[in-house]
Amino acid sequence: MKHAIPDEDWPTPEEAARSRLFSPLALTPTCTLSSRTWVPAMVPWRATDAGEVTADNVAWYGRFAAGEPGVVVVEATGIRDVPSGPLLRIGHERYLDGLKRIADVIHERSGGRTRAFIQLIDFLAIRRRPEPARFFERFLAVTPEHRRALARRDGRDWEAAPETEVRARLAALDEAQRADILGARELEALRMGHRERVTDTHLPHIAELPKVLPQLFADACARAERAGFDGVELHYAHAYTMASFLSRLNTRGDGYGGGLPGRVRLPLEVLRACRAALRPSTVLGCRMLCDEAIPGGSDVDDACTIAVELGHAGMDFISLSRGGKFEDARQPRIGEAAYPYTGPSGHACMPTIRVDGDGPLGRNLPLARRVRDALRTAGLATPTVAAGGIVGFRLAERALQEGACDLVASARQSLADPDWWLKVRTGRGAEVRRCKLTNYCEALDQRHRRVTCQLWDRLPGDDVPRDDGRRLLPPPWNR
Ligand SMILES: Cc1cc2nc3c(=O)[nH]c(=O)nc-3n(C[C@H](O)[C@H](O)[C@H](O)COP(=O)(O)O)c2cc1C
Ligand code: SF4
């Protein structure tokens, strides 16, 4: 362990009542949050394989709402109706009844103190890391370049050799020899599993993304509204399609890549389409990165420019995250897919007590502050949300007082103890079950297994966060 989580000096109820953290915030003229506390999106892998809401999902969100944060953001929910395992989907009307149960439970269990938002995501295909034998037998497209490279290596003519022989010869090469013959993307497909990129514009479905995504996002927004959500968070962060458009690594030559105006063009078009599909009273914000945290990726200066563009275009809030990219992900085991939170950028996204430097607590606040300052300098009042190792009252309150953000998001601390906001607000901070920041939960997420927390999942029969067996307050619906 490199860093310890210090003891906290919890506030009295009076101090909490005077705090900025527990003061209301008008997110839009028609949406005032009861406090500046926020549970950001966390995928728990509890949907059905068809992407439908389960009782387990409903219990999960009800549990977070019972802690009465200002906002609960429902996990990244796919805007397309395509098979994607137990991730929630919103790409068809048939998902609405289930999603409505989630929006309803958030409102009911919080006694109306918590707003229900939903994160909308699009992602590109990623394949599992293949068995090398299968890769050479089936997946690799044999090209004249492979034949020429083999000819140079072996000193014999491979031009007219049957393809099965070429495949067998390539499979027989050792790691270093393969690295000489295969192209960079082919090597990546072998070592990590094939991954599509927004720059693969030779593929028609990738070239067409700017044509199809605004409508897909807009339709999903309209469904979210019909399901009873108070707001929508467009997922422009981490390793997914929209963040890849914003990235400095996006070199598309069709006007949707290259310099910043090109990279931000599709996110702006999606925003406009979504706004047009929603009632003015429905909140529309996004999550974006204040730093990609990968070599050659966008940094905080890009983030400042992007945030100002999105703010001018009418984003109601900007939630800031960091890293979480595929580019530096650890090599997965054969048969598993790469996971964007395993490399240095992943550690920036969900910092643990083992992280280098200053430690995990409030690690992203200086960058979040830079982005918020850029918005204010541009004359924009767009509220910002910061996340990353915010696990105590003092740090959260300081972040707000010092202008690092307008709202404080805590993912893992809320998972460790969904009642923690309520406990702190009511002067029972000493009873908070504190997150250890060791990422047992994230390891489950990585294996696409039902996410739980090491602090409560071994309690008998427990699948959803519970309250220590000590009911602190009457349930919200009895108050
Ligand atoms: C299990 C798990 C699932 C997550 N899923 C999402 C997600 O669906 N969308 C997202 O934007 N971030 C996701 N995150 C990242 C969190 O929202 C948050 O940004 C990150 O954990 C850092 O905040 P924390 O230090 O308070 O945990 C996830 C985090 C965890 C632990
Ligand atoms: S599993 Fe560990 S890191 Fe995750 S919420 Fe629980 S205590 Fe925190």
Q: Is residue 302 part of a domain?
A: yes
**CB-based burial of residue 253 (10 Å sphere; 0-12 exposed, 13-18 middle, 19+ buried)?**
exposed
Report whether pLDDT(478) > 50. Answer: no
Closest listed ligand to the CA of 440: 2
Amino acid at 449: R
Coarse DSSP helix, strand, coil percentages of the chain, rounded to the nearest 5 percent: 40, 10, 50
Ligand 1 atom nearest residue 441's Cα: 1
Q: Dump pLDDT digits (tens) for 122-178.
A: 999 999 999 999 999 999 999 999 999 999 999 999 999 999 999 999 999 998 999
Report whether pLDDT(469) > 50. Answer: no
Residues 226 and 309 both lie in one domain? yes
Ligand 2, atom 4: closest residue by C-alpha: 441
Residues 434 and 305 both lie in one domain? yes
Ligand 2, atom 8: closest residue by C-alpha: 435
Residues 231 and 269 both lie in one domain? yes
Q: Is residue 2 part of a domain?
A: no
Report whether pLDDT(305) > 50. Answer: yes
Concatenate the DSSP letters of all residues of 336-405 into one string: S---TTSSHHHHHHS--TT-STT-STTTTHHHHHHHHHHHHHTT----EEE-SS--SHHHHHHHHHTTS-
Ligand 1, atom 31: closest residue by C-alpha: 442
CB atoms within 10 A of CB 127: 14
Task: Please state, in angstroms and rounded to a whole number, the distance separating the CA atoms of residues 413 and 218.
Answer: 32
Overall number of domains in the chain: 2
The closest alpha carbon to 35, from 20, 19, 23, 17, belongs to 23
Q: Is residue 347 part of a domain?
A: yes
Residues 120 and 266 both lie in one domain? yes
Choose the final residue of a domain: 191, 218, 238: 191
Q: Is residue 40 part of a domain?
A: yes
Best substitution site from 233, 291, 350, 354 to test ligand 1's pocket, by max atoms within 8 Å of Cβ?
350
Concatenate the DSSP letters of all residues of 214-253 into one string: HHHHHHHHHHHHHTT-SEEEEEESTTSHHHHHHSTT---S
Report whether pLDDT(252) > 70. Answer: yes
Does the beta carbon of 118 lie inside 6 Å of ligand 1?
no
Q: Is residue 314 part of a domain?
A: yes
Report whether pLDDT(378) > 60. Answer: yes
Give the domain range for residue 156. Answer: 132-191
Q: Is residue 1 part of a domain?
A: no
Residues 221 and 364 both lie in one domain? yes
Does the beta carbon of 363 lie inside 6 Å of ligand 1?
no
Residues 169 and 143 both lie in one domain? yes
The CB-based long-range contact list for 141-144 (8 Å cut-off, 24+ gap) reads 142/166, 142/167, 142/170
Residues 183 and 211 both lie in one domain? no
Report whether pLDDT(479) > 80. Answer: no
pTM over 0.85: yes
Ligand 1 atom nearest residue 409's Cα: 26
Residues 153 and 80 both lie in one domain? no
Q: Is residue 118 part of a domain?
A: yes
Task: Please state, in angstroms and rounded to a whole number, the distance separating the CA atoms of residues 475 and 452.
Answer: 22
Ligand 1, atom 2: closest residue by C-alpha: 42
Choose the final residue of a domain: 146, 162, 191: 191
Instruction: For residue 107, give the CATH number of its domain.
Output: 3.20.20.70
Ligand 1, atom 15: closest residue by C-alpha: 42
Q: Is residue 6 part of a domain?
A: no
Best substitution site from 353, 361, 441, 457 to test ligand 2's pocket, by max atoms within 8 Å of Cβ?
441
Residues 159 and 266 both lie in one domain? no
Residues 173 and 115 both lie in one domain? no
Residues 428 and 371 both lie in one domain? yes
Going by their DSSP bridges, the two strands 407-409 and 384-386 should be labelled as: parallel
Choose the final residue of a domain: 170, 191, 212: 191
Residues 281 and 401 both lie in one domain? yes
Q: What is the pLDDT of residue 460?
A: 59
